[in-house]
Amino acid sequence: MIYRPIYPPSILGVMGSGQLGRMFTHSAAKLGYQVHCYSPIFDSPTKYAGATEFVGKYTDLNKLGEFLDSVDALTFEFENIPEEALLFIEEYIETEGLRVFPSPKVIRISNNRETEKNFFRKIGIPVTNFLSLQGKFTDINKLSDIKFPAILKTNQFGYDGKGQRKYSTREEFLTDLISITNFDHILEEEVPFDIEISVIGARFPNGKIVTYPASKNIHKNHILDLTIHPANISEKLKKEAEEHTKNLLEKIDYIGVLGLEFFLKDDLLLGNEFAPRPHNSGHFTMDSANFSQFDLQVLCLTGIVDDLSLKTFPSVMKNMVGDEFFKEKETLKKLIENSEYYIHLYQKKEVISGRKMGHINYLGEFKDNLFLF
Ligand code: AMP
């Protein structure tokens, strides 16, 4: 299929209105596009970046329709939207010819852990051993295929470790099993991984693919804390991680930006999950790459360029979670006046524990105590 380029000043729609929509809006505005966003939230980080805010439930198809009528193309900054809304968007693609990248078909795969992991397997990305649990699970013999400790994960609507529970032993799991009558889960072996890495990749409407080199991710309380770019792993592993990402982009017929996460154990890369949008671990690209992941999201959606060459520099991204950097005004002052730090705040009205309030990019190699002020 040949897609015509969508030139500025057109209106780009984004489902969701959080920080990812905000950064998408900044990139779109640089190129002269206007952004409309849709979510149930008023006065969102995306609106404050200059987007026109459409507010409604994802299942309010009248409001969603008004929003879709107002845009020239659509992308996602938030993918956990109900099937009803995805079907409605698909109808718009068919009847109105609306451009939607990535496609709802892809969103569906990424929104379901089991489907996602089966897809990885099918295209040759190794995954952790897991068991699918549906409805009332009675076939206890199947548990012999799984080594404990294992993690029970909901198939849908789980992120940042939410919807997950670890079981150290089979017996512990069996005790809980009786009380759960409506499984829609996977039970996944815990991997004693060395590190977690991720690759951000993008595919243009003409099929050209670009990837940034892999980064290393460090989590705190299940939330991404640091991204170190590039990951300090062998060139062979870096290449392999990029090849897996390219393979996924191609086989799933993806257009847009995605983030693919891996566990690395010895020399084995195991695909964990992918996000069908720019990813938190790609925020370093805003200050240490020639094109950021949000620039790529705009360029892939509009197709005004077909290909480009990415350059990145060593950098570290630190998430500002909860009140960590907001307790003392002095801390923010120190960060802002330090020329080595680039600060991105998301304009969220309330500081809540565990909420991502912003991030800091540092240009240079990782060292201890980089973010102690
Ligand atoms: P997820 O939502 O699947 O990305 O899980 C959130 C985090 O939990 C991951 O980034 C890992 O740190 C940890 N985790 C998830 N699955 C596993 C696993 N099978 N083995 C070890 N750690 C895991």
CATH of the domain at 88: 3.40.50.20
φ, ψ (nearest 5 deg) of residue 30: -55, -35
* Distance (Å, whole) CA 303 – CA 174: 52
The answer on 178 and 279 residing in a single domain is no
Measured in Å, residue 64 CA sits from the centre of ligand 1 at 34
Measured in Å, residue 224 CA sits from the centre of ligand 1 at 11
Atom of ligand 1 nearest to the CA of 161: 6
Structural domain count, the chain: 3
Q: Is 134 inside any structural domain?
A: yes
Substitution site in 79, 112, 113, 272 for ligand 1 pocket (most atoms within 8 Å of beta carbon): 272
* Distance (Å, whole) CA 228 – CA 216: 5
Measured in Å, residue 161 CA sits from the centre of ligand 1 at 7
Substitution site in 147, 153, 222, 223 for ligand 1 pocket (most atoms within 8 Å of beta carbon): 222
DSSP-derived letter for residue 218 is E
The answer on 218 and 320 residing in a single domain is yes
Substitution site in 80, 164, 166, 168 for ligand 1 pocket (most atoms within 8 Å of beta carbon): 164
Substitution site in 263, 264, 270 for ligand 1 pocket (most atoms within 8 Å of beta carbon): 263
Paired with 54 in beta bridges are 38
Measured in Å, residue 324 CA sits from the centre of ligand 1 at 24
The answer on 347 and 327 residing in a single domain is yes
Profile the chain (373 residues) by mean pLDDT over runs of 10 residues: 95 98 98 98 98 98 98 98 97 97 98 98 98 88 94 86 88 88 94 98 98 98 96 98 98 98 97 98 98 98 95 98 90 90 96 96 96 86
The answer on 273 and 179 residing in a single domain is no
Enter the tokens of residue 289.
């790459």
Cβ < 6 A, ligand 1 pocket? 128, 151, 158-159, 161, 188, 190-191, 196, 219, 222, 272-273
* pLDDT given at position 296: 98
CATH of the domain at 153: 3.30.1490.20
* Distance (Å, whole) CA 51 – CA 372: 34
What is the residue whose two structure tokens read 């010895």? 266
Domain encompassing residue 211: 195-363
The answer on 35 and 161 residing in a single domain is no
DSSP-derived letter for residue 143 is G
Taking phi first (over 0 means left), then psi (-120 to 50 degrees means alpha), and beta for anything else, what does residue 60 get? beta
Q: Is 2 inside any structural domain?
A: no
The answer on 302 and 209 residing in a single domain is yes
The answer on 330 and 285 residing in a single domain is yes
Measured in Å, residue 137 CA sits from the centre of ligand 1 at 23
Residue 282 · residue 212 · CB < 8 Å: yes
User: What Cα–Cα distance (Å) separates residue 332 from each residue in 19, 28, 324, 335, 360?
Assistant: 19, 27, 10, 5, 11
* pLDDT given at position 130: 97
Q: Looking at the chain, how many residues does it have?
A: 373
Measured in Å, residue 187 CA sits from the centre of ligand 1 at 12
The angle subtended at Cα 286 by Cα 282 and Cα 291, nearest 5°, is 95
* pLDDT given at position 180: 83
Enter the tokens of residue 130.
């897991």
The answer on 200 and 177 residing in a single domain is no
- Domain-ending residue, one of 140, 169, 189: 189
Enter the tokens of residue 201.
């990749």
Measured in Å, residue 121 CA sits from the centre of ligand 1 at 18
CB atoms under 10 Å from CB of 245, counted, come to 27
The answer on 154 and 64 residing in a single domain is no
The answer on 293 and 215 residing in a single domain is yes
CATH of the domain at 273: 3.30.470.20
* Distance (Å, whole) CA 113 – CA 108: 10
Q: What is the pTM assigned to this prediction? A: 0.96
- Domain-ending residue, one of 189, 205, 225: 189
Q: Where are the alpha helices (DSSP H) in 155-292?
A: 170-177, 235-251, 285-288
